[in-house]
Structure 1
Amino acid sequence: MVTFLLERTAPLSQDEAWRRLTEWPRHGEAVPLTRVTVVPPGPTAEGTLVVARSGIGPLGFDDPMEVTVWRPPAEGVSGLCRLEKRGRVVRGWAELEVHPGPGGRARVIWRETLRCPLVPERLLRVAARSVFGRALNRLLRGS
């Protein structure tokens, strides 16, 4: 099992940082060889299923994640989204938090625990921090 924490401060409002982090298909644009779909389509709520399909053609796997906590930020209240990973290949959970930061900026925390028996733990730790760190930067940049 691998646990990692990523923190960023972005020149965005809490609401804009939240929107960028929870626009699920954009995660597929930020993570190589990945496409993300949402079931049911539409606004996210507890029970929404976010499915990341990673790989090329039949050489891939699904990473289904169920939203178990959905609390968008409100005036003076931090936002929190928790996803439980329910796949056969990848298990664990992820939490995305958006807090008020200094100077009206948003402070973002991405915390995740991964279990992937097919990948050595040391390699998984390095790859996860690298891939998700770059993805978080790209999501917050908006490009």
Structure 2
Amino acid sequence: MSSNHIAISLKINAPIQKVWDSLAQWEKQGEWMLQTKVWVTSEITEGVGTSINAFTGVGPLGVLDSMTVTSWQPPHTCDVLHTGKIIKGTGRFHLREISSDTTIFDWSEEVIAPRVLFLAMLPALYIGVRISLSRFARTFR
């Protein structure tokens, strides 16, 4: 097993706080993430210790991603630890304010997987995340 990095950044035409508030609504992420349903599994819904599940797939075929928030620094950074049976590693949402109405959204993951497997799934993963983040950005138009 090795640590494999993937990162995508995009500009969003919205104030940083508005972008953060939208990202922090975990269960609404399924509205812009491709083929994904997201739900909170802990009593707390924001901040360190929040537990979230995300199922990506069609019907019963897919992958369950369980994660726990490990860092919460509104409106800039949220880190998660992926704790599922299949998806392991860490993830980060980081927002950077460019102007009062422009934000850069940096998304990154460190995926723990055999390098060959990661490289095989990288094109589909990159395209899927890029489409999802673009859909998210469009919600601010």
TM over 0.5: yes
Deviates more, 1:64-73 or 1:40-49: 40-49
Structure 1, gaps ≥5 residues long: 74-78
Give the 3-state SS of the residue equivalent to 2:91 in structure 1.
strand
Residue 47 of structure 2 aligns with which residue?
45
Report the alpha carbon displacement of residue 47 of structure 1 after superposing the two structures with TM. Answer: 0.3
**1:57-68 to 2 correspondence within 5 Å?**
57-68=59-70
TM-score, structure 1 normalization: 0.83
Query: Does 1:90 find its partner at 2:92?
Result: no
**1:58-137 to 2 correspondence within 5 Å?**
58-73=60-75, 79-102=76-99, 104-116=101-113, 120-137=117-134
Q: In 2, Cα distance between the equivalents of 1:63 and 1:128? A: 14
Query: Does 1:9 find its partner at 2:6?
Result: no
**1:31-42 to 2 correspondence within 5 Å?**
31-40=33-42
Give the 3-state SS of the residue equivalent to 1:101 in structure 2.
strand
User: Match of 2:106, as an amino acid?
Assistant: I
Q: Percent identity?
A: 25
Structure 2, gaps ≥5 residues long: none
Q: In 2, Cα distance between the equivalents of 1:59 and 1:142? A: 28
Q: In 1, Cα distance between the equivalents of 2:26 and 2:60? A: 22
User: Match of 2:109, as an amino acid?
Assistant: E
Report the alpha carbon displacement of residue 55 of structure 1 after superposing the two structures with TM. Answer: 2.7
Shift in alpha-carbon separation, 1:22–1:120, aligned structure 2, 3 A: same
User: Match of 1:88, as an amino acid?
Assistant: K
C-alpha contact 2:53 2:64 (8 A) present in aligned 1: yes
Report the alpha carbon displacement of residue 60 of structure 1 after superposing the two structures with TM. Answer: 3.1
Q: Structure 1, residues 24-49: CA drift from partner, whole Å, max 9, x if none?
A: 22322223332110123664110001
Shift in alpha-carbon separation, 1:116–1:22, aligned structure 2, 3 A: farther
Q: In 1, Cα distance between the equivalents of 2:34 and 2:20? A: 22
Q: In 2, Cα distance between the equivalents of 1:11 and 1:64? A: 30
User: Match of 2:91, as an amino acid?
Assistant: A
C-alpha contact 1:20 1:142 (8 A) present in aligned 2: no
C-alpha contact 1:54 1:62 (8 A) present in aligned 2: yes
Report the alpha carbon displacement of residue 138 of structure 1 after superposing the two structures with TM. Answer: 1.2
The count of aligned residue pairs is 137
